[in-house]
Amino acid sequence: MDNSRKECVVGIDIGGTNTKYGIVNRSGTILSTGSLPTDAHLPFSDFSSRVTSKIIQKINLLESPHHCMAVGMGVPDGNFMNGMMHDPPNFSWTNVPIASSFSELFKCPVVITNDANAAAMGEARYGEAQGLDHFIEITLGTGLGSGLFVDGTVVLGHSGHAGEMGHIIVDYGGRQCECGLSGCLEMYVSNKGIMRTLKECLTKYPNSLLHSIPMEELGGKEIDLAFDQNDSAAIACYEYTGKMLGKGLATAVSILSPEAFIFYGGFSNAGERLLASTRESMNHHLMDVFKETTTLKISNMKEGTGAILGATALAWDVADDKIKLNY
């Protein structure tokens, strides 16, 4: 390695729509960030070459010369143990050896974990979970992801896929999920799930303010505004969503007894509008010993940076030989 160059790592957060990245130095300062469309319908090789050339170009443009020590990636359905991305919904890539492919392109070690685990690691090091040994990060977006933090470390489980809370069943025989099961939490508490609930609520409340906005322009912001004006459809939508979310959270509390759930991204911006009914439902579905023992919080990490920072934390651990990779 050229000793005149400073050390940096790269954190990449792959999303269904956009892929965001950050170049970070030893002290955790983000030197450069960017985003590009994932274009998950195109071949994986198109994606990997676009992302790599863009980031290498950015590293070369930094004010002083830097050497990339390692790359950390938050990957939907990514498995830390074997470096594979396992046929994620919303992507056309099937099973991809994503870590080794990017390692060849970047010419340095690449470590991956699933995107929710990366967000949990960012939360633990830089966000609301600093100092917490037991918490669960819930990422809201196209789906519902979760990263389990127990005794100060992320739980991977035997298969490496531990923490798929989006697919806890909260309504047997309920809404059909893309995973093949039905009644999964994700079908009620994700962008898609909440918008479906809203549609159902709108048919029940013909006087809702939200009828004046075309369906394709409706999102969290509009629902929040209507909720604040006591709109019946918006209130019913968040009450139902909170009820289902609370059921899912209660299941996790009974197993892991976390100190907090921390919500990151998407509909977490609704804050107490959604969390009030969630808290009530969670406590309702818990036995006495667990009631009121777990708090619900909104992440203070800027949307988009959480998973990047978590991925860079992992990358430094690899660069410093604290983690040995099998791929």
Question: What does the binding site for Zn ion look like in residue numbers (CB under 5 A)?
Answer: 167, 177, 179, 181, 184
The beta-carbon contacts of 98-101 under 8 Å, at least 24 apart in sequence, are 98/44, 98/48, 98/73, 99/73, 99/325, 99/327, 100/327, 101/44, 101/48
CB of 166 to Zn ion, least distance (A): 6
CB of 163 to Zn ion, least distance (A): 14
Cα separation, 101 vs 96, in Å, equals 8
Task: Let me know: does 87 contact 120? Beta carbons within 8 Å.
Answer: no
**End-to-end alpha-carbon separation of the chain, Å?**
22
CB of 169 to Zn ion, least distance (A): 8
Q: Which is nearer to Zn ion, 9 or 184 (CB)?
A: 184
Cα separation, 186 vs 192, in Å, equals 9
CB of 178 to Zn ion, least distance (A): 7
CB of 181 to Zn ion, least distance (A): 5
Distance of CA 81 to the CA centre of its chain: 19
Q: Which is nearer to Zn ion, 193 or 306 (CB)?
A: 193
Q: Which is nearer to Zn ion, 226 or 245 (CB)?
A: 245
- Listed in order, strand segments (DSSP E) in the chain are 6-14, 18-25, 30-37, 66-75, 78-79, 84-86, 95-96, 110-114, 135-140, 144-150, 153-154, 260-264, 295-298
Q: Which is nearer to Zn ion, 69 or 177 (CB)?
A: 177
Task: Let me know: does 139 contact 115? Beta carbons within 8 Å.
Answer: yes
CB of 302 to Zn ion, least distance (A): 29
Q: Which is nearer to Zn ion, 249 or 275 (CB)?
A: 249
Q: Which is nearer to Zn ion, 129 or 184 (CB)?
A: 184
CA-based nearest residue to 193, from 227, 236, 233, 244: 244
CB of 274 to Zn ion, least distance (A): 21
Q: How many residues does the chain have?
A: 327
Q: Which is nearer to Zn ion, 8 or 148 (CB)?
A: 148
CB of 47 to Zn ion, least distance (A): 25
Q: Which is nearer to Zn ion, 109 or 193 (CB)?
A: 193
Residue pointed to by tokens 């960012």: 122
Task: Let me know: does 121 contact 80? Beta carbons within 8 Å.
Answer: no
Q: Name residue 322's beta-bridge partners.
A: none
Q: Which is nearer to Zn ion, 68 or 177 (CB)?
A: 177
Task: Let me know: does 301 contact 122? Beta carbons within 8 Å.
Answer: yes
Q: How many other CB atoms are found less than 10 A from the CB of residue 223?
A: 27
CA-based nearest residue to 98, from 311, 283, 245: 311
CB of 215 to Zn ion, least distance (A): 24
